[in-house]
Amino acid sequence: MRNRFHGVFSLILFSVAIVIGFFAILNDSFTSGVVYVGLVAISVLIILYAYCVKCEIREDSCRHVIPGKIASMMPRRASGRYTFLDYGGVALPLVVILGFPQIWLAGHRTLLFLFWVLVVLGLVEILIFVCCGCGNRKCPICALRND
């Protein structure tokens, strides 16, 4: 269970950051808030398909738990080396998720600070605790951490 704690905790950190962004947007524009929720949902699915579906351990021992379960329900992709398109399928949606609320967060310095602290803490959790024991040998982060 300890192995999965950090995966779930990092998801919670990112989720709280997204909720903060959502409420900052919603404070100004209901429509933009709804658009953000839609963009987050689509972006998460793209990330899961681009990266997680290709993971060789997604069904057995995904340390993020929930993404692994969702990825196992998506159309199969062959496990293998990640390509430029796979990385783009993670990077571009992340830019959307993290970048979209910045205009609204800029007007609320405390929320902006909290948003980025949570995002950075989530990344640190992933890099230090999740990737260190991941069994996906095709993931470059895992390969670097386990060599």
The string of pLDDT tens digits covering residues 13-35 is: 999 999 999 999 999 999 999 99
| Separation of alpha carbons 19 and 66, rounded Å | 18
Please compute the mean of the pLDDT values over residues 30-41 and round it to a whole number.
Answer: 97
Q: What are the pLDDT digits (tens) for 51-90?
A: 888 877 777 777 777 888 888 888 988 888 889 999 999 9
C-alpha distances (whole Å) from 137 to each of 11, 51, 89, 140, 146 are: 22, 13, 19, 8, 9
Q: In whole numbers, what is the pLDDT of the chain averaged over residues?
A: 87
Domain that includes residue 94, residue range: 2-146
The count of domains in the chain is 1
Cβ neighbours of 98 (radius 10 Å): 17
Helix or strand run (H / E) with residue 116 = helix 109-124
